[in-house]
Amino acid sequence: MERRPQPDFLIIGAPKAGTTALHSALARHPQVFATTPKEPKYWLCDDAPPPHWRGPGDKHSQQEWVWRRQDYDRLFAAAPEHAVRGESTPFYLWSTSAQRRIAQELPEVKLIAVVRDPIDRAYSNWMHLWCDGLEPVADFPTAFRLQDRRADDGWAPFWRYRELGLYGRQLDHLYGLVGEDRVLVVRYRDIVDEPAATVDRACRFLGIEQGHVDHIPKDNHRTYVEPGWRPKVLGPVIRGGAWLGQFAPPEVWRRSYPPLLRQLSGPGSHHRPRLRPEQREQLLPAFAEDIELLTKVSGQDFSDWLSTASRGSFQERARLAENLSEPA
């Protein structure tokens, strides 16, 4: 009997938590078929166009959402007969409506949730948008405090620095819809610190052979943009161009965007600052209660996230892991 072209697994979140890296690693497995694009976002919609988000760059990015079921099914049509098929849209974990649709329409699908220290995740999220020229606020704690106002103004989910990191609440809702045996919770630190073991763990969960993938590609990395005249002058140009991009095919903005980003970042590479302990201490109350809930619903201990110490970027953690693995 021919299989319907649909996913056997979904990497459901969270944004800026290593989902791209894990997707890329699994895509290299001979028994896995991973979609292109990586993030169709189909289950965020309901066979209807996506909401009209109004944040910087939101309308342009929505051009690439796959919201028609026939287009979504077509993403899996080329999968080999016995391949395990999957896609990775990291906003599914955040969206309760997406969770409900997935539970109803894909009763056997397996779900992988990648979670990262929520403050580090939020900082990486802000850094991504700032270095892309879309975030107009140069100070992360200030931008963090603007989340609710921006949500009320119709900015897209990627701007919700706090909400996207409330994994306890998100998983608690998900477990009310699907059995816990269908959900694998993976820590970001394990993707970086123990890549081969983490991929093998995901393979066991998916019921495919282990040992085929021994490393995980580095995650998305952007050149840091220092506050100053460049973002003040070029930021509005980029945000205006992204708004105009909604009226042209996506490839037009894809060609125009890189030269603007190079101008924005300027010559050379700039040190990407870490959050200071006092900044983390100010932000911890926004997540402390949810971290306790996550520990309860997942059965894993996440109390280390209550520390004021930053865990560092993917590159910093990867370098540390490499140094520790080198023989003395």
pLDDT, one tens digit per residue, over 44-84 is 998 888 888 889 988 777 778 999 999 999 999 999 999 99
Question: Could you give phi then psi for residue 86, rounded to 5 degrees?
Answer: -155, 165
> Are the C-beta atoms of residues 231 and 134 closer than 8 Å to each other?
no
Name which of 56-70, 125-139, 142-156 the model is least confident about: 56-70
Return the closest-CA partner of residue 314 out of 86, 80, 124: 124
pLDDT for 218 equals 73
* Domain 9-325 listed as CATH 2.60.120.380: no
d(CA 165, CA 221): 20
pLDDT above 80: residue 92: yes
- The pTM (predicted TM-score) of the whole model is 0.88
Q: What b/e string do you get for 82-98 counting C-beta neighbours within 10 Å, with b at 16 or more?
A: ebbbbbbbbbbbbbeeb
Segments making up each domain of the chain, as ranges = 9-325
Strand ranges inside 116-190, DSSP E: 183-187
pLDDT above 60: residue 314: no
Q: Which two tokens stand for residue 20?
A: 């791209």
